[in-house]
Amino acid sequence: MSSLTSLSVSQLRKAAALKEKIQALETEFEKLLGSSPKAAAAPAPKKKFKMSAAAKAKISAAAKARWAKVRKAKAPVKPAAKSAPKAKRKMSAAAKAKLSAKMKEIWAKRAAAKK
């Protein structure tokens, strides 16, 4: 059977006329029989499948078990528990005195340089 695009205009007209004749014969046939053959051939609508509560629970339990297994396999590394904050370092009195003397010396040089 050739595609419609490769048919000539006269062939398309003949095809349209044949289709009209077929439709006219079908309607005449339906009048004789009193029913439509197309309507009788229509399949019955499918019933919607309803899952029982027990089946839903079973599937849910299986899914939860699968996810638990996945989570267990990953087992995220927990950060170490925070210990008490480190105590502040205390400077000895000798170190304080040494630092104080050094800073006084630096400030004195700066003041002398400004004058």
Taking the chain, what is the end-to-end CA distance rounded to the nearest angstrom?
A: 111
Whether residue 12 contacts residue 19, with contact meaning beta carbons closer than 8 Å, is answered with no
pLDDT digits 0-9 by tens, 42-90: 677 888 889 999 999 999 999 999 999 999 888 766 766 677 788 888 8
Q: Output the pTM of the full model.
A: 0.29
Asked if pLDDT for residue 95 goes beyond 90, the answer is: yes
Compute CA 7 distance to the chain's CA centroid, rounded to the nearest angstrom. 48
Confidence band, pLDDT 50/70/90 cuts, at residue 36: low
Determine the residue type at 21: K
Residue-range domain boundaries for the chain: 10-41
How high is the pLDDT of residue 21?
94
Compute CA 62 distance to the chain's CA centroid, rounded to the nearest angstrom. 22
Distances (CA, A) of 40 to 19, 26, 43, 46, 89: 22, 14, 8, 16, 95
Whether residue 102 contacts residue 94, with contact meaning beta carbons closer than 8 Å, is answered with no
Please tell me the distance from the alpha carbon of residue 24 to that of residue 6, in angstroms, as a whole number: 27
Distances (CA, A) of 89 to 85, 86, 99, 115: 12, 9, 16, 39
